[in-house]
Amino acid sequence: MAKLKWFATVMLVFGLTTSAQAQYPAKPIEMIVAYSAGGVTDLTARIVASFMEKYIGGRTKIVVVNRPGAAGEIGFTALAEAKPDGYTIGFINTPTILSIPIERATKFTWKSYDLLGNLVDDPSGFSVHKDSQFRTLKELQAYAKANPGTVTVGTTGVGSDDHLAMLAFQRAAGVKMTHVPYAGGSMVRTAVLGRHIAVASINIGEAMQYVASGSPFVQLAQAGAMRSSVAPDVPTFKELGFDMESNAMRGVAAPKGLPPEVRKILEDAVTKTAADPEFQAKMAATFSPMRYLPPAEYAVALERAEQLLQKLWSEEPWSPK
Amino acid sequence: MDVLNNLVFGFGVALSPENLLFCFLGTFLGTLIGVLPGLGPTATVAMLLPITFYLPPVTSLIMLAGIFYGSQYGGSTTAILVKLPGESSSVMTCLDGYEMARQGRAGAALAIAALASLFAGIVTTLVIAVAGPPLADIAILFGPVDYVALLTVGLIGAVVLAGGSIVKAVAMVLLGLLLGCIGTDLSSGEKRYTFDLVVLYDGLGFVPLAMGMFGITEIIASLDETGGRGRAMASIARLWPTKEDFRRSWPAALRGTLLGGALGILPGSSATLSSFASYALEKRISDRPQDFGKGMVEGVAGPEASNNAAAQACFIPMLSLGVPPNAIMALMIGAMMIQGIQPGPLVISSQPALFWGMIASMFIGNVLLVLLNLPLIGLWVRLLRVPYTILFPIILVFCALGTYSLNNSVFEVGIMAAFGVIGYVFRLTGCEAAPLMLGFVVGPMLEENLRRSLVISQGNFMVFVQSPISATLFALSAALLLLMLVPSLKRKREVL
Amino acid sequence: MSDEPNPVADSSGPHVSQDIVAGSMFVLFGVLGYLFSLQLSFGTAAELGSAFLPRLVSVLLVVIGVGIAIGGVVKSRAAIAFHSPRPLIVVTFCVVLFALTLETLGLVAAILLMVALSGLAGERRGVVTTLVLGVALSLTCVAIFIWGAQLPIRVWPV
């Protein structure tokens, strides 16, 4: 009898968690991350989730779900195809959210989502070993010009923002370098540390964390429009006379067609999260350069980045068509 | 005696009641998820990350580390009991561990696995304490060229894994290499064998493949060979290992520890690879290689020591260089960063309590794990008395759900089913799964590094002999090959 | 290594040589591997293409596969010991059905279906045993994966 009672209680708990849609959120919210656990987006997402829980209020629970694969395509597709009921939200990342639909037919574009706000803007950048022969970007350019194809540049893969940054630099500087793709940013760093490659094309956040930890790493330049908050002393490519920009933006989105009241709740939660000093401290500690953009401005930024990528694709495709 | 002082200091940190508690919690949780196939330490650590926001940095790292190496202990349990690798690094334990269980020696296998892991854990932690940072500096000298050489040795050694026909083993390694090609090619971005299926863009997963070819295949074979009753396990005469078991195990555990430790500090290597290597080594140097796969205790002790040593050793690059060799170390770096700590060359001097406290906790954690695991053996062994008709649906459900939980992908469950069938057909035809799994693990790494070497050297093949590390390793693989081609003097290998 | 099938031919099945089947399978995989690598680029020494390794491996597979098969024809020793297709079909079907039902019918239904169907693979279980096993297993899985690990898996049908 006691067992039966227990069983009934269990059933009741199940019933409660699945029915009752009256007040949002009535059940846990899934936050899809299109990359594996342990990556930068995953780390940001887990921090963001804990703050959004607080600001949505009540007993809200946000569960981070990793749907890695195909450079983000699997997760982005899952997010775009989820029911727009506010119980599935997720992170979208540039440039992949823009570049994958340019490369091939996909079930999503950035317009498949209700944007909730951008949080991170991590510029690409070039780093070298402390004992490298290149002390400045100009030296790198001069050497690469004199010795085409000999400067090795490590990136996180074909079509990544690091790769796009390398392509952009080649065009802006009029040089030809050798692309050496790796499966992850940490492998690129290791390769520079062991002097197996000359230049690491990695995001400035990751690079600065590495510098801060005491590794023999030097930043040559960063590829944002302006200097990033995490690296105020590193010049931008533009300042140095190379007309190029490349960055990785990470923001929160939901499948298109959220009910207006749910959308409002989620947008507010993102806004408040971004403004929370404790959150900002955590982002600074993890070297994630913040750049909060409300949905409308986020859309403008994505639109602009998409046009730039389309132009690049038509002139110099970054991956086999 | 700097190290000694530091260790005493570290134990002072690790033995505080709070840290001790979280060390226990971490290792306990690690054992639990290690036993469960699929659900791995990475997912668990990721899930617990937000909790660490509210814990002191040392405490949270002690707990997260415990989860990781604890899972290496737990992973062997299902491998031995039901031939289901709980973690990818326990695939090799399936071979002889499960055979031992069938002979009624499950208890001995489990105990040896736990003790070998303890031994490896303690030794490797000591090495980290004494020489961690200098070792890390050596490890990064390992370039793409050297990886090519190292992996070539591994592939040639893979053939040793074969119990029966060498020719079939070579073919299985090749098939593993071919399966490893599936997915987006890292170097060019081209899609290989993906048939426009997005789910294949990242290739096949190791876990669905291993669970299919070991777990599912075993169920089908067991049911078919017994007309549906399922294979009976020999009754258990003795729960604990014999003196003879210990005598044969400890040298194997020692070799496994050295191998696992060495491979573990190389960023880009893995616990899985080191367990393969250890098994091959044990078989190669044994005076009765023909008995491997039939319940040789060395085949459990070596790989189990090796995977635990590798698991502990990968803390070296993480702590002293800030370079995460795998996803779980990346998560630990994340956990540190959130607390404002930058793992890297400065971490030992700037955060001595963290560094030494964590190392001391690994000693404590390893002992806790054995204290936790040994009493459980009696319980696990009793599980084998469950009739097979009841047991196999349970295994099936855990296989399927475990695989699903990895990436929330039903497609991977389908892949597992497919490889259950393929594995079964191969088994019927006398072809073994282990060489295929090794080819599958090594192939992508080998290809990646080969192409990277040639890109960097602009097509100059001489680089492979110019690096001293690589030249030595290639000489070694040539010797290995020669040894294999010339029939061994000591024994005659039957070629089917 | 373990579990080599009994080399003695089983009386209940026809005598099929292990080596001929194994060799043919390797040839099949090799041929498929080669054919589907044709649209990929082979590359140069400085920049090996994505087709280099697959084609090399495929060709080797075909060669070795043919070798194994010929060996099987010439001196076929071991025969395949295969009794009944039932376990193979039922077990595979169980897993596939689980995959198909998990995201639609939910975890509990998927487990119950799997447990019920798996009974067809081997010796029969009683209805009561099956029911108890199914319910107990569902509860355990829900406890571990939903309550414990908090995985976002659907528990009940929509």
Query: Cα separation of C7 and C81, whole Å?
Result: 8
Structural domain span for residue A252: 26-122+248-315
Chain B residue with minimum CA distance to A287: B337
pLDDT band of B491, cuts 50, 70, 90: very low
Q: Tell me the residue type at B54.
A: Y
CA neighbor of B101 nearest in space, from B85, B84, B75, B81: B81
Summarize pLDDT for A122-169 with one digit per residue, the tens: 999 999 999 999 999 999 999 999 999 899 999 988 888 899 999 999
Summarize pLDDT for A54-113 with one digit per residue, the tens: 999 888 889 898 888 788 888 999 999 999 999 999 999 999 999 999 988 889 999 999
Q: Which of B189, B328, B456 sits opposite A152 (nearest CB)?
A: B456
Are A77 and B198 a contacting pair at CB < 8 A? yes
Interface test with C, best of B51, B105, B175, B191 (most C CBs within 10 A): B175
What separation in angstroms does the CA of C63 have from each of B174, B387, C42, C58?
Answer: 11, 45, 20, 9
Q: Tell me the residue type at A7.
A: F
CA neighbor of A40 nearest in space, from A160, A159, A219, A196: A160
Q: Which of B33, B163, B223 sits opposite C4 (nearest CB)?
A: B163
pLDDT band of B134, cuts 50, 70, 90: confident
Q: Give the up-direction half-sphere exposure of residue B292: CA atoms within 13 A in the CB hemisphere.
A: 27
So what's the pLDDT on residue B18? 93
- Please give the average per-residue pLDDT across B241-261, as a whole number: 93
- Please give the average per-residue pLDDT across B40-60, as a whole number: 86
pLDDT band of B283, cuts 50, 70, 90: confident
CA neighbor of B473 nearest in space, from B37, B155, B236: B155
pLDDT band of C10, cuts 50, 70, 90: very low
Are A14 and C156 a contacting pair at CB < 8 A? yes
Are C152 and A10 a contacting pair at CB < 8 A? no
**Distance between B298 CA and the closest CA of chain A, angstroms:** 34
Chain A residue with minimum CA distance to C155: A14
Q: Is residue A13 part of a domain?
A: no
pLDDT band of B441, cuts 50, 70, 90: confident
Strand order through the sheet with A88-93:
A62-66, A29-33, A88-93, A247-255, A113-123, A290-293
So what's the pLDDT on residue C101? 94
Q: Is the pLDDT of residue B171 over 50?
A: yes
> Which ranges in B290-428 belong to alpha helices (H)?
298-313, 315-321, 327-338, 347-350, 352-383, 388-407, 410-428
Interface list for B 145-184 with A (CB within 8 A): 184
Query: Cα separation of A320 and A158, whole Å?
Result: 10
Beta bridge partner(s), residue A253: A90, A115
Residues A173 and A235 in one domain: yes
Contact B470, B450 (CB under 8 A): no
Q: Is residue A69 part of a domain?
A: yes
Q: Is the pLDDT of residue A11 over 60?
A: no
- Please give the average per-residue pLDDT across C69-97, as a whole number: 88
Chain B residue with minimum CA distance to A177: B456
Query: Cα separation of B83 and B77, whole Å?
Result: 9
What is the distance between the terminal CA atoms of chain A, rounded to a whole angstrom? 67
Residues A254 and A311 in one domain: yes
Average pLDDT, chain B: 87
Q: Which of A10, A63, A320 sits opposite C150 (nearest CB)?
A: A63
So what's the pLDDT on residue A13? 45
**Distance between B353 CA and the closest CA of chain A, angstroms:** 17
- A209 CB neighbours in chain B (<8 A) are 322, 337, 342
So what's the pLDDT on residue B196? 82
So what's the pLDDT on residue B341? 85
Largest CA distance in chain C: 67
**Distance between C157 CA and the closest CA of chain B, angstroms:** 16
How many domains does the structure of chain A reveal? 2
Are C1 and B162 a contacting pair at CB < 8 A? yes
So what's the pLDDT on residue B408? 82
Are C40 and B455 a contacting pair at CB < 8 A? no
Query: Cα separation of A247 and A266, whole Å?
Result: 25
Query: Cα separation of B127 and C8, whole Å?
Result: 51
Residues A255 and A237 in one domain: no
Q: Give the up-direction half-sphere exposure of residue B168: CA atoms within 13 A in the CB hemisphere.
A: 29
Higher pLDDT, A55 or B409: A55
Q: Is the pLDDT of residue C13 over 50?
A: yes
Query: Cα separation of A94 and A181, whole Å?
Result: 19
Residues A304 and A217 in one domain: no
So what's the pLDDT on residue B487? 54
pLDDT band of B494, cuts 50, 70, 90: very low
Contact A37, B335 (CB under 8 A): no
Which residue is listed with tokens 């799997």? C114
Query: Cα separation of B378 and B374, whole Å?
Result: 8
Q: Is the pLDDT of residue B74 over 90?
A: no
Query: Cα separation of A82 and A75, whole Å?
Result: 11
C122: exposed, middle or buried (Cβ count in 10 Å: 0-12, 13-18, 19+): buried
So what's the pLDDT on residue A40? 86
Residues A206 and A256 in one domain: no
Summarize pLDDT for C108-137 with one digit per residue, the tens: 999 999 999 998 888 888 889 999 999 999
Contact B215, B83 (CB under 8 A): yes
Higher pLDDT, B260 or B344: B260
* SS3 call for B193: coil
Are C64 and B174 a contacting pair at CB < 8 A? yes
Domain-terminating residue out of A193, A223, A245? A245
Chain C residue with minimum CA distance to B164: C1
pLDDT band of B268, cuts 50, 70, 90: low
Give the angle B474-B477-B478 at the CA atoms, nearest 5°. 85
So what's the pLDDT on residue B1? 55
So what's the pLDDT on residue C7? 42
Summarize pLDDT for B349-394 with one digit per residue, the tens: 888 899 999 999 999 999 999 998 888 888 888 888 888 888 899 9
Q: Is residue A3 part of a domain?
A: no
Are B50 and A157 a contacting pair at CB < 8 A? no
pLDDT band of B240, cuts 50, 70, 90: confident
The interface predicted TM-score (ipTM) is 0.89
So what's the pLDDT on residue B163? 67
Domain ranges, ordered by start, for chain B:
2-485
Chain C contact present for A158, CB below 8 A = no
Return the sign of the alpha-carbon dihedral for residues B216, B221, B223, B224: positive
Tokens, residue A103: 């490369």
The separation between CA B114 and the C-alpha centre of its own chain, rounded to angstroms, equals 14
Average pLDDT, chain A: 88
- Please give the average per-residue pLDDT across B482-490, as a whole number: 60
pLDDT band of A22, cuts 50, 70, 90: low
Are B49 and A46 a contacting pair at CB < 8 A? yes
Q: Is the pLDDT of residue A263 over 90?
A: yes
